[in-house]
Amino acid sequence: MFLKLYRILVFLLCLNVVYSDICTNTTSIRCDCKEYTNIQTHLPTFFADCSSRFLTELPENINDGLNVIDFSINAIETLDANKRPLNSEDLEELIFGYNNISHVDVNFFQNLPNLKKLDLSNNFISSLENSEIFEKLPHLARLDLSFNSFKTLPDFIFNPLVKLTHLDISYNYMGAYLTQSKTVLEKMLCLTPNLTHLHMDGLGIKELPAGYFDGFNNLKDLSLADNEFTLIPAVPYSVEQLDLSGNKLSFVSANYLNYHSLKVLKLNRMVTLTVIPHYAFYNLFALEKLFITDCPNLKEFSELAFDVLSKDIDHHIKVLSLARNGLNSLNESYKYLFRKMEHVDLTLNPWVCDCNILWLQNFALEFFRSHEIRCHYPSELRLKKILELQPSDVKDCYPAIYGKKSHRVLIVVLSMTVVVLCGLIFYLLRYPIKGLSGKHRISPNSPYGLTSTEEQ
Ligand SMILES: *[C@@H]1O[C@H](CO)[C@@H](O)[C@H](O)[C@H]1NC(C)=O
Ligand SMILES: *[C@@H]1O[C@H](CO)[C@@H](O)[C@H](O)[C@H]1NC(C)=O
Ligand SMILES: *[C@@H]1O[C@H](CO)[C@@H](O)[C@H](O)[C@H]1NC(C)=O
């Protein structure tokens, strides 16, 4: 409370006053400092942007008062509490991404009791001394260790971080360490069920021990991209967003994709994927966004991938991206899906331009970058925009369309003929003789024969 009052006071009294030495010209570097209102807390936040300043070490005299400091894109090599200690009650976010950090002193984070977010990504850290390193960070909610050189982490390392919700350990060398038993996350790393976002991309993982995510019932965003999975691994039932891109999946099926909360699924960048079979996404009741892009060998996308599509069924899917695959065609039944979507991307596939593709022309407005939806076969139509195909381009099927039109014309012509004929008959009955010359034979017995007798 006192902290809040203090901050508001500072905000009111010193609107344009600098809050820390690193915001002035008195030090060798000068960061860009500003204040803004935190959207969540509605408190004024004091931010120092010290990125891209060729720093090789932390500046001296970082005083209290700053809430967020961004040291990204510098050349800092160590975080050492003895050389450059960092003490601040106010600091909530600390960003060290894209530096040359290879060593982090175990005491470095001892005096930052309110730190909520720490980004150490894109450095050269290969190990942390022991689990005391995060001991004094009870409020840390987001931790990014991605793009480093970790092979292992100290046992119980995340034990003090009971509030940790976001963890990114992607692109390290921890595959073997992380898959040695099914309880690594829970018992060795001591992650809690409070975890909601976990990114484990690029770790060389082939498979996960059964029950690997047991207990992580709040996990909503899970990324396992750029690993070596050949089968879709079992993930928590709570997951809403799942990224399996860049793996070696060849088989996608409803048995493995049985997550009723899943809203966003990404299956991009897989040369092994050739077919999306019937009912592959049938069990994803909540699916809103599906991304399957950059799978050059994906030739077939079943007309039943979601289920039978018809105009009477309402679909929840809002975004479908099938860009840069090897698809030749897409069944016309997808028109029922496309009618109400926010984003459909079919660009840069080798579409076959025949009668079966012309239905796409009805969705010119729905398609993302529709000018990139082009024919690949037959060769004389290569690179032609599908939405601009003319009757003369696809000869064999446009006549069929015209056929229907000519039927309509025929019906109109026939009806008119009938009307004219009726009129004629009526006319003939009403004014039988006058209009007709003697060319017409009339029976001698006819009551209308009178005038014709002249001829005889
Ligand atoms: C601080 O340094 C910048 C550029 O180096 C200069 O433009 C500015 O006038 C200096 N401000 C003060 C208060 O010296
Ligand atoms: C989850 O976080 C809350 C604080 O937000 C904490 O009190 C609780 O102990 C945490 N749960 C576990 C299992 O650590
Ligand atoms: C689309 O799918 C339906 C249902 O399986 C099938 O009858 C039809 O022939 C398919 N159309 C094309 C052009 O492949």
Q: In this prediction, what percent of the chain has a pLDDT beyond 90?
A: 63
Q: Which residues pair with 241 in a beta bridge?
A: 221, 264
What's the rounded mean pLDDT across residues 379-398?
84
Residues 93 and 116: beta-carbon distance below 8 Å: yes
**DSSP conformation letters of 183-229:** TIIIIIS---TT--EEE--SS------TTTTTT-TT--EEE-TTS--
Ligand nearest to the CA of 27: 1
Rounded CA gap, 244 and 236, in Å?
Answer: 14
Q: Which residue has the higher pLDDT, 429 or 438?
A: 429
The three-class DSSP label of residue 79 is strand
Which tokens hold the place of 288? 């809103």
Type of residue at 289: K
Rounded CA gap, 427 and 95, in Å?
Answer: 97
Residues 370 and 343: beta-carbon distance below 8 Å: no
Rounded CA gap, 94 and 78, in Å?
Answer: 15
Q: How far is the CA of 351 from the centre of ligand 1 (A)?
A: 60
Give the per-residue pLDDT at 306: 92
Atom 11 of ligand 3, nearest CA residue:
331
For the chain, the average pLDDT equals 87
Which tokens hold the place of 126? 């290969």
Question: Among residues 99, 100, 103, which one has the least CA distance to residue 73?
Answer: 99
Atom 10 of ligand 2, nearest CA residue:
162
Tens-place pLDDT, residues 139-186: 999 999 999 999 999 999 999 999 999 999 999 999 999 999 999 999
**pTM of the predicted structure, to 2 decimals:** 0.81
Q: How far is the CA of 330 from the centre of ligand 3 (A)?
A: 9
Which tokens hold the place of 96? 């060290």
Q: Is the peptide bond before 378 cis (omega within 30 degrees of 0)?
A: yes
Q: Which residues pair with 13 in a beta bridge?
A: none
Tens-place pLDDT, residues 204-259: 999 999 999 999 999 999 999 999 999 999 999 999 999 999 999 998 999 999 99
Tens-place pLDDT, residues 315-362: 889 999 999 999 999 999 999 898 888 999 999 999 999 888 999 998
What's the rounded mean pLDDT across residues 274-300?
96
Is the distance from the beta carbon of residue 303 to the nearest atom of ligand 3 less than 6 Å?
yes
Q: Which residues pair with 319 in a beta bridge?
A: 289, 343
Tens-place pLDDT, residues 85-143: 899 999 999 999 999 999 999 999 999 999 999 999 999 999 999 889 999 999 999 99
Q: How far is the CA of 299 from the centre of ligand 3 (A)?
A: 16
At residue 11 the predicted structure's pLDDT band, cuts being 50, 70 and 90, is: very low
